[in-house]
Every structure is written in structure tokens, then in C-alpha cells.
Chains A and B, each alone.
Chain A
Amino acid sequence: MPKMNLSHLEVSLLFALVLSVVLGITSKKTSQEQINYGLKSFGYFVGALVGLSWLMYLGHR
């Protein structure tokens, strides 16, 4: 099994991507709703990731 070393950002983006797809599929009924929810969910994940990262960075200056 090859080894992989991902950074915190890369793991977070991977996690956000796969979870958004699963949440989209499992949370909504029609295909269009699922796509919209998946995209929105991914956007929220990334937004929260960047926002909280800046918050922690500024809080530790």
C-alpha cells in the first residue's frame, strides 16, 4: 500500500468534497436538489475552513 502525506488543507478539502457528495445524495430527493445541496454544502465547508483558519491566525498574532 503506497503511503500518502496530505496537508491539513488537502485533507480538509478531500473530506469536504466526499462528504458534500454523500450529503447531497442522502439529504435531498430530486437530482437537481441533490446537486445544488452538494455544491452549497461544499461551499459552506470551504468557507468555514478558510474563515476559521483566518480567525485562528489573527487570534494568535
Chain B
Amino acid sequence: MAETTNPKESNTGLPLVTVPLAPLLAAAWLIPGGGHFLLNRKTRAVLLFGCVTVSFLAGLMMRGYLFSPQTGDLFTTLIYVGGFIGNLASGVPYLATKGLGYVQPDVAGHVHDYGTKLLVAAGLMNILAIVDAYEIRQGKKL
């Protein structure tokens, strides 16, 4: 991946690191911390990867439910489409899990429910990481 450091500084006084936007966002989505890794923030990349992966794996080990988009009344749409987006945002962990045939029905039980929340939380944390990588690229953060 071609990575260049722009000698110009952003308006925050931080050096601009220019990695093409599309590959950066794709890497940040697919591999948690991947965007930070491309931007040479390796410690943060490892921490983000660890946090998202631990949350996702804990959710899987607690047999959490992976949402499929469903529509109906407003709450059903919000929960199922929102949950699906949250799951999908995890990137490769989600795609691999679906690809390997993980099927867990949405059953009652507090452990399953905690697992479902952790699976969605992993995706939401990855969204934070994607936005952070974008801000670093734009020179708004170190």
C-alpha cells in the first residue's frame, strides 16, 4: 500500500498522512484496527483489534444472535435492521462467522442476550475506529 507523508500540515498543526480513502475505509471496516495500521498507528491498531475481537468472540461464545434485516412495525425494523448494521460493521469477524455457518436462533435467556449485545457492541466500536482512522487521515488527530 502506497503511504506517503504529506509535508504540509493540517490546520491543527498535525502532519497529514495520505493513504487513499477507499482502501483505508475498507481496511478499517474489514479488519478492526486495520485503518490505524495503515496510518502507522500500530499500538492503537492492536488495541482496537483486541477490543473488537474480544467483544465479538465473547458474544459468539455466549451464543449471541446475529441479526438479519427484517421489516415490520417501527420497533421491529429498528431492532433488526439496526442490529444487522451493528453486526455487519464488525467486518471480517462477522463475514467469517456467517460464512462458516454460525446459526443461533433468537432464544430467550440472559446469557444469549448478553452475547447478542456484545456482538452488536463489537460492530459499534469498529464504527468508532473507522471514524477515528478517517479523522487521522484528514489531519484532525495525531
Binding site for B on A (CB under 8 A): 1-6, 8, 11, 14-15, 18-19, 21-23, 25-26, 29-30
Chain A residues, Cβ within 8 Å of B131: 26
Cα of A43 to Cα of B121 in the assembled complex, Å: 19
Q: Is the CB of A19 within 8 A of B61?
A: no
Total contacting residues, chain B, CB less than 8 A:
27
Task: Report Cα–Cα, A52/B118, bound state, in Å.
Answer: 21
A-B pairs with lowest CB-CB distance, top 9? A4-B61, A18-B51, A26-B132, A11-B114, A22-B125, A26-B128, A18-B55, A21-B51, A25-B44
Can you name 14 A-B pairs with beta carbons within 8 Å?
A4-B62, A5-B111, A6-B62, A6-B114, A8-B110, A15-B55, A15-B121, A18-B55, A18-B121, A18-B125, A21-B47, A22-B51, A26-B131, A29-B142
